[in-house]
Amino acid sequence: MVDVPLDEVAGLLRDAAAQAVLPLFRRLGAGEIAEKAPGELVTVADQRAEKLISAGLHRLLPGSTVVGEEAVAADPGLLGHLRDAGPVWVVDPVDGTANFAAGRRPFAIMVALLTGGELTASWILDPLADDLAVARAGAGTVCNGTPVRSVSPDPAGALRGSAMTRFLPRPLRDRVEAGAARLGNVHDGQHCAGREYLDLVTGEQEFVLFWRTLPWDHAPGVLLVREAGGVARRFDGTDYHPGDDRHGLLVAVDEPTWQRAHTALLS
């Protein structure tokens, strides 16, 4: 496993937030927001933050590869590096760009490190809430300087969670919505995967269902959840891997909660 300084990477995220992201929040000009694909926005904050973070990560690990969301938009072939043997960084410079562009919260800055194709470290920063979660494989998850472990919900009580149904195929969407109504307090998401994962590790919610699983949206959060005692699996029960481009991901604070949510939403 590559020994990377967790605090230095966290510092890169904070620097990017301070220099490239927060100064433009609610201050973007019309020419600073663009559509890179139908329904997919990019802002100058995304581009500047990714440039800053990527440069810093290369300094920390010379010879490493950075797979950033905006770099992949220009060169999709970069996704092939996700299974490289050497160190690979996965970067989401502004997760929740639609929120950010509209002047809404939440949004986050996220980084994950893969070694030998496996998740070995991750970071998520919500710069407005000043929430920072960090994980290293085998060493647990720390949020705002305090180690955290998932709290198992009452097996007889309602579940709190999110089910992102917007992109689900219609028959599956109907099934998930019907199951969500039976589970309890289920909402349709915050349009920011990073915040969803932070809420899982801090106990604000107990499960999240996603359809789209782009690596920069999920690689950082999956390791945070796993190291806090949670579970992240595809709908068919196989473990999540950043290099797997299939749709569908269910994440929960523990195994019984994953099974309960899977039965209600997908069975």
In a domain, 154, yes or no: no
Q: Region 21-45: what's the mean pLDDT?
A: 94
126 with 163, same domain: the answer is no
What pLDDT does 122 receive? 98
What pLDDT does 113 receive? 98
CATH of the domain at 144: 3.30.540.10
In the chain, the number of structural domains is 2
Cβ proximity of 223 and 121 under 8 Å: yes
Confidence of residue 70 (pLDDT cuts 50, 70, 90): very high
For 191-247, write each residue's pLDDT tens digit. Answer: 999 999 999 999 999 999 999 999 999 999 999 999 999 999 999 999 999 999 999
From residue 182, give the alpha-carbon distance in Å to each of 34, 89, 146, 208, 211.
Answer: 40, 39, 34, 15, 20
Q: Region 82-109: what's the mean pLDDT?
A: 96
At which of 148, 167, 199 does a domain end? 148
Between strands 159-163 and 184-187, the pairing is parallel
Is the pLDDT confidence value at 2 over 80? no
Confidence of residue 86 (pLDDT cuts 50, 70, 90): confident
Is the pLDDT confidence value at 31 over 80? yes
CATH of the domain at 163: 3.40.190.80
Is the pLDDT confidence value at 169 over 90? yes
In a domain, 249, yes or no: yes
What pLDDT does 120 receive? 97
Domain coverage including residue 172: 159-266
In a domain, 233, yes or no: yes
Per DSSP, the residues of 147-159 read EE---PPPTTS-E
At which of 148, 169, 203 does a domain end? 148
Residue 116 CA neighbour count, 13 Å, CB half? 4
At which of 148, 179, 200 does a domain end? 148
212 with 92, same domain: the answer is no
pLDDT > 70 in the chain, percent: 100
What pLDDT does 1 receive? 60
What pLDDT does 196 receive? 98
What pLDDT does 156 receive? 80
140 with 199, same domain: the answer is no
In a domain, 72, yes or no: yes
